[in-house]
Amino acid sequence: MITHDSPPPVDDLAKALRPIVSTGLPVQPSFADDALLGLRGVVARSIDPSDRLNRVKALDDLLARLLVHYPDDQLGPAARILFGLAPGMRGQNLTNRRLAAATVIDREAEHFRKRIEPEIVTAVAWQLHRDSQNYIPRDRATPPPLEASGDTPIIRVGDVSSKEAAEHEELLSRLWAHVYVLRAEVLRVERLRHWPYDPTDPALSEQKLARATDRRAKEVENVKVLARAYVDRYGQRIKHGDAEFNAEVLLRLAGWESEA
């Protein structure tokens, strides 16, 4: 099976999504369009990328995730209904899903089909395109070869087979450790914003939120510093199990977006 070095154009991805829209999620086992199954974001999430059905499952999981985080709050519910992800919509035919999606945003069904639906499908295609930009081909400049270890943190013989290999694995581990700490701090800030620790004491809640915000800012800087150190020494490819990421996306992967 093919794996794209770079994602196909957004229009091609949107066209490839049409059969999925027609049947609704989950993606059917017969699905075989390489435009989507060859995306690096799909390949990296597949347990066995050489197996088409593994890629189909990975694509299904990825689409569900992207639809949950659809980038437009107003159209998000309609998008999830259209793709059959919303409660009560799984197994519904396309006509019923279109009608329900149009109703939830107070539009006529025909207007939705002609105007809104193409916008939603293109937006999902763009999300897929962006996701695949997080991954880079394996034939780029690489750090010292290491034994594949999946996503487990087990230290393998190859990780300490030489001083260079051990230094690389140590820096890689510290970098990902801080990416996950940053993710935790982003989640903590959001939790305290929406569910204060003590709603009966606003002053205490504000103090806790301020401290959490400071810790988040510190971890943003930690990730930036470690990412720069890694890139300076090993280049842009950053491994995580069998997946590979660009250094620039690490903050976004942790859920951080600049508020400036």
pLDDT along the chain (260 residues), means of 10: 92 97 96 96 89 95 90 92 92 96 95 96 96 65 42 58 81 89 90 75 82 93 89 76 66 71
pLDDT at site 1: 86
pLDDT at site 155: 61
pLDDT at site 121: 98
CA distance 188 to 217: 12
> Model pTM greater than 0.75?
no
pLDDT at site 2: 92
Closest to 36 in 3D by CA, of 51, 16, 58: 16
Contacts of 227 (CB under 8 A, 6+ apart): 175, 238, 247, 250
CA distance 231 to 246: 9
The DSSP element (H or E) to which 253 belongs, if any, is helix 250-253
pLDDT at site 141: 43
Tokens 């260079």 identify what position?
164
Q: Calculate the alpha carbon distances from 162 to 16, 143, 214, 238, 241 in Å.
A: 46, 13, 38, 19, 20
Closest to 149 in 3D by CA, of 167, 169, 135, 178: 169
pLDDT at site 144: 45
